[in-house]
Every structure is written in structure tokens, then in C-alpha cells.
Structure 1
Amino acid sequence: MNYLNDEMVYGKNPVLELLKSGKPVNKVLLISEGQGVRNQEIILLLHARNIPYQFVDRQTLDRLTNRERHQGMLAYVAAREYASIEDILALAEERQEALFILMLDEIEDPHNLGALLRTVDAVGAHGVIIPKRRSVALTGTVVKTSAGAAEHVLVARVSNLVQTLKELKNKGCWVSGAEAGGKNAFEADLTGSRVIVIGSEGKGISRLLRENCDEIVSLPMKGKVTSLNASVAGSVMLYEVLRQRTMHDM
């Protein structure tokens, strides 16, 4: 029997068949006790498809599945297929436009990701890059919050943001990290091939990723609140890139 409940598939055979099918999977949870030989086929498939997995205790799986017969494993199914970096590059080439990419560093709130996907679609950016670990994935909540934009925006999920950033820089992209303490974003030159990096809700941009940005830009703050929600800050930055591109092309 295929146990499907709120984007989850659980039970050994259902999870195994899901992995063999090639359908997008966000993450797999495996029971930590007695993991040994019986899970080797699953683990080999997870490594082959580069899908994140985590060992948890039985109580966690019992709680997540309402004590259904999970047989020690549970998979979170992605709401849609992920794109590749090559897909994003190809879209820019097809449109004959300078690259315009949003990179998100460990965004955890699905509502923030959904809202940003909606803005990415609105400004005509070519895609979004998220990490495979410590980040919200393409869940049903993300798709719903995006108001349909998730169906049109290319989202690539990568193992290493820093390495991906270096590859994009080698292709001529200039990288602007959005964080407090940088130059005024409205006075910076954001034209040309561009990657905008937005950090996590609590910690901002991680140190290594920040060190690999070409510049740090900040939104001017006139009020008493010293920071903006990640989706709000990201949306303002994306629209500033669009504004400058539009002015540059006039």
C-alpha cells in the first residue's frame, strides 16, 4: 500500500519505488535504530540521486506519520521538478538577456520562498538557486504562497552554494550580497549579468558565501526597525535590478 499524506510517502516499498521512479524528492528520514543492511538499497539510491537524508528515532517517525506503519522510513515529495543551473543559463541565452539570478542562503520559511518566487517571476529573473540542506524546499506551502509562480520559475537545488557562485562568476556574473553595512543599493550599479544573494531570516548571509560576493549592498532604513523580512528585502532588491536594467535599455 502506498501511504501518501501531506507530501509524505512512507513505508519501505513505497519509498523505494518513489526513489526508483525518478520523481523529485526533497528529503528522506530513516530510523536510526538497526539501520544496517536492510536500508542499504535505499541509501545507495539516495547517494546515486544526491538526495539529502537524515537518521531519526522511532518516536519522530511515529509522530510524523500518526503512528501509521512507516517501516522506519519516510520521504518528503517535492511539489514540482527542480531545474539545473544549465537550465537557468539556457533560459537567459534563449531570451538573449544578461543573467539575472536570485541565490537564497538557508531560507527556512516556506512563505518567504513562495513570496520570492512570485517576485522572481514578476521581474523576469531567470531562476532561483537554493541549497539542498538547511533550507526550505519546494513544498506545497511554497507553491501555494507563490500564487502559481512556482510553476513558471526555474529553481535549482545545489549541494554547495559557494562553488556554484564561483562557477557563475566565471561565466561573467557580478555578485551582490544584500546585507546591512554595505553600500546603498539604490546607488550601486546593478546592471549586467547579476546574482543577488539573500541570507537566512536569522543569520543573514553565511561567512564563506559573503566572502565570495563581489560587493555587499544595503537597503536604506529610515525608521526604527533595523531589518526587513527576507522576502521583502529580496523583492525590493530584485525590483531595483529590474529598474536599473529598464533605465539602461532605454
Structure 2
Amino acid sequence: MIVYGRNVLKEILTSNHPVKLIYFSDSHDKELDKLIEQVKERKLPYTIAPKNVLKKLCGEEKNQGVVIDIGDFQYADESYLPENPFIVLLDQVQDPQNLGAIVRTAVAAGVNMVVLTKDNSAHVTPGSIKASAGTIFRIPIVITVNLARYIEKLKDKGVWIYGADMRGKPLWEVKLERPLGIVFGNEGSGIRQLVKESCDELVSIPMKTPIDSLNVSVSAGILIYEVLRREMGG
């Protein structure tokens, strides 16, 4: 997989995600020189190339002089489960921009992992990486074939699962305490019925002026930060 940008490279260096080759533009500035030195110190493979080569590799002229071939993205194993977790589960969220935005919020708020469905779902792509500003490398991402079954396994391990649904209880009426997971559904159809039935409780975001729904990344941001607010004593 080809990704690009200085922030993306910084996140890759922070996360120690493996790389196949890093391409730097032959037109340097001080920040780029500093990144090259960091790459050298870590003994990562890199090369210096003309701007037109970088543009051809990533298809984007505004690549900030950095293009990275990361090979295959390293997903976490489905058995992975941190202690006392806060988990975000996405039920067939299909827009890479939404995935990236949700991951960026999740990382900022201290979510421990993100779970995606294998089918009919956005996965980690250059688009979702860009939308996450590279933060997607900071958090374990799991792909599961059967989300309802995966949720049952989480529940067996003591994780309380909420489903974000307009027919759920208002968020101030639910505990939202770790260990917990929150499921967010598809942009058009929401959470599938079988997955919804697997949730322990449904939670909704109150609206002063009722509308059909909020964008899934907005809903995720509100509920994720409500958990953080409570954890910080707000």
C-alpha cells in the first residue's frame, strides 16, 4: 500500500509499523532533512527520488516530499483484547472518510481498539489513512467476519456493548463505563438487526430539533467524547 505525507510518516515512525521503502523528494527543507535523519537512525529502507517519481507513485502532487510503501497494513488479531477496554465497533461503515475521521477521534479520546466488519465495510486504505491524519497507525484495528458473534465473545469477557441507535435511551440515562464497546452502524441503514439484538443496550443522542440522523462520524465523536468526559470527571 502506498501512502504519503509527513504526518503519516511521523505516525508510522511512532507506531513502528513496518515499511518496505520510503521515498523522499530530492528537494529538501529542514523538516524533511530531520525526517531523513530519523529514518536513518532506525535503519529503515529509503531512497531519494525526483518529485515526478513521487507524484507517479502516489498520484498526488502535494505529497509533502514523502511517499511510503508500507506493504500490507498490519491488522490486530481478532483475539486481541486489552484490559478494561473501550472499543469502537463499526457495522459496515463504508465511507473511508468516515472511518478515518472516527479513528482520529478514537485515538484522541483514548479508545483502545477499533473493530471493522470484513464485508461491505471500509478498511484501511490510503484514503482512510489520510482522513485519520495518520493516526490510524496508533490504534489496533481488528477485522471480524461475524460482528454479532464477535460481540457475544466480548460480552462473555465482561465487556458491556452499546449500540448507537435513535430508538435507544438518551445518553445521559446510560452508564457508559469501561469495559465497554459502542457499535456504530452503516451510513444509510444503521446497525443491522442481528447485531443490534446482540447489544446489551441501545443509546441515542438527544436532539433539540429532530432530524433523520447524524453523520456516523459525528455520532461517534459525540458518544466517544461523552465517555471521555465522564472518565475525566466532567
TM range (shorter): 0.5 to 0.7
State the Cα RMSD in Å.
Answer: 2.1
Q: 1:219 aligns with which of 192, 205, 208?
A: 205
The one-letter code sitting in structure 2 at the alignment partner of 1:121 is V
Q: 1:82 aligns with which of 69, 75, 87?
A: 75
**Residues 5 and 203 of structure 1, relative CA distance in 2, 3 Å threshold:** same
1:160 deviates by: 0.7
1:181 paired residue number? 167
| In structure 1, C-alpha distance between the alignment counterparts of 2:78 and 2:116, rounded to whole Å | 11
| In structure 1, C-alpha distance between the alignment counterparts of 2:135 and 2:108, rounded to whole Å | 9
2:65 paired residue number? none
1:205 deviates by: 0.4
The one-letter code sitting in structure 2 at the alignment partner of 1:165 is I
**Residues 170 and 224 of structure 1, relative CA distance in 2, 3 Å threshold:** closer
Identity %: 39
Q: Secondary structure at the match of 1:83?
A: coil
Q: 1:237 aligns with which of 220, 223, 230?
A: 223
1:187 deviates by: 2.6
Q: 2:98 aligns with which of 97, 109, 112?
A: 112
1:244 deviates by: 1.6
Contact 2:101/2:132, CA 8 A, preserved across alignment: yes
Contact 1:79/1:143, CA 8 A, preserved across alignment: no
Cα deviations by residue, 1:151-208 (Å, 9 ceiling, x for unpaired): 1011101111011100000110001100101110123110121010000000000000
Q: Are 1:207 and 2:193 counterparts?
A: yes
**Structure 2: segments with no counterpart, 5+ residues:** 4-18, 20-69
2:179 paired residue number? 193
Contact 1:177/1:217, CA 8 A, preserved across alignment: yes
1:215 deviates by: 0.6
1:172 paired residue number? 158
Q: TM-score, normalised by structure 2?
A: 0.68
| In structure 1, C-alpha distance between the alignment counterparts of 2:170 and 2:72, rounded to whole Å | 37
**Structure 1: segments with no counterpart, 5+ residues:** 7-22, 24-76
Q: Secondary structure at the match of 2:218?
A: helix
Q: Secondary structure at the match of 1:165?
A: helix
The one-letter code sitting in structure 1 at the alignment partner of 2:78 is I
Q: Secondary structure at the match of 2:161?
A: strand
The 5 Å alignment of 1:2-17 reads none
Larger RCO of the pair (alpha carbons < 8 Å, separation 6+): 2
**Residues 133 and 174 of structure 1, relative CA distance in 2, 3 Å threshold:** same
Q: Secondary structure at the match of 2:99?
A: helix
Q: TM-score, normalised by structure 1?
A: 0.64
**Residues 225 and 79 of structure 1, relative CA distance in 2, 3 Å threshold:** farther
Q: 1:138 aligns with which of 124, 135, 150?
A: 124
| In structure 1, C-alpha distance between the alignment counterparts of 2:110 and 2:181, rounded to whole Å | 13
The one-letter code sitting in structure 2 at the alignment partner of 1:183 is K
| In structure 1, C-alpha distance between the alignment counterparts of 2:120 and 2:165, rounded to whole Å | 20
Q: Secondary structure at the match of 2:89?
A: strand
| In structure 2, C-alpha distance between the alignment counterparts of 1:215 and 1:227, rounded to whole Å | 19
The one-letter code sitting in structure 2 at the alignment partner of 1:186 is W
| In structure 2, C-alpha distance between the alignment counterparts of 1:78 and 1:233, rounded to whole Å | 32
**Residues 222 and 169 of structure 1, relative CA distance in 2, 3 Å threshold:** same
